Amino acid sequence: MVNTKKKTAPPVLELPGDEAPAGNTVELIGRKGIQSVEVGYRLLNALQLSKRPLTLTALSEATGMTPSKCHGYLSSFLRVGLIVQKESGGLYDLGPSALRLGLTALERVDALQEARAAMGQLRDDLQETIVLSVWGNHGPTVVYKQEGSRWSPLSVRVGVVLPVLSATGMVLLSGSKPEAIDGLLRKEWEAAPSDSPWKASSIKELHALLESIRVKHIVKGRGNIFPGYSGICSPIYDHEGAVCAALMAMGPVPQFDRDENGPNADILRRAAAGVSERIGWRGDNAAT
């Protein structure tokens, strides 16, 4: 099973009451919190958003804090290992304690559980059947489904293996390097009947479709696997940027809007991205 970059300056993170004395207790969304912890987190977040270690000046600009205020927090973070200071140039980076926290969090993440948890809300938003698939021993395999809120004759069985060249199959393959899957694509393309609805005109066309998925994070259904129904499919990425699952919304043709730039696609794409972020995807670390 497959387990499942424009550079920008770190954003200024807005938190309420920035200038209150450190250690103050503040009321946030009905809960009391320690403001100094939230303010200090700006530094950690700026470092995790950055592609490289940062100077004190860069941290000050990224967080909207004065250099002297940054220095106070940095001193504490250095002592507990959340931040380290590089020997060259006084650069700061995340430290071993931050690494251990991240690794522990990743060990406790269950990608499929996170995806299943999001499917109910997605079903309610779209009012259609939602299907979750992964790459199994025999190819793209349905592992979970949420029936649409409206009755329909559509029946998607858990455990069914979908065609490799279907939308779901292509989404799952989109996380692999082109050269790693060229042989599989060629084999499937050559084996597909000439009248197959997912038979592309060439291998080049299939690679172009995969690249489109990597850019758009969405693809509309290919073929007629479930007669009278079609769908749109989005990838779920893990912390390494690999595609670990595919999330598909399905509805009746022609009523169901499967435009890749339409509102249904936007809702599905946001849901898949939300799951990806909760399991560690940063949005810019695709495996390819």
Asked if residue 109 has pLDDT above 50, the reply is: yes
143 in Cβ contact with 133 (< 8 Å): yes
Superfamily per CATH, domain 109-279: GAF domain (3.30.450.40)
Position 147 scores a pLDDT of 85
- Residue at 163: amino acid letter: P
What share of the chain has pLDDT > 90, as a percent? Answer: 26
Q: pLDDT tier at 2 (50, 70, 90 boundaries)?
A: very low
Average pLDDT over residues 13-34: 44
- Choose the weakest-confidence range: 29-33, 102-106, 261-265: 29-33
Average pLDDT, the chain: 80
The dihedral sign for the CA sequence 13, 19, 20, 22: positive
Domain range list for the chain: 35-100, 109-279
Euclidean distance between CA atoms 130 and 148, whole angstroms:
7
Q: Which CATH architecture has domain 35-100?
A: Orthogonal Bundle (1.10)
Q: In this structure, what token pair is assigned to residue 202?
A: 């060439």
Same fold, 35-100 and 109-279: no
Euclidean distance between CA atoms 242 and 77, whole angstroms:
32
pLDDT tens digit sequence for 172-191: 999 888 888 888 888 888 88
Model pTM score: 0.66
Q: pLDDT tier at 25 (50, 70, 90 boundaries)?
A: very low
- Choose the weakest-confidence range: 64-68, 88-92, 178-182, 255-259: 88-92
Euclidean distance between CA atoms 260 and 279, whole angstroms:
25
Position 152 scores a pLDDT of 63
Could you tell me which residue, 224 or 99, shows the higher pLDDT? 99
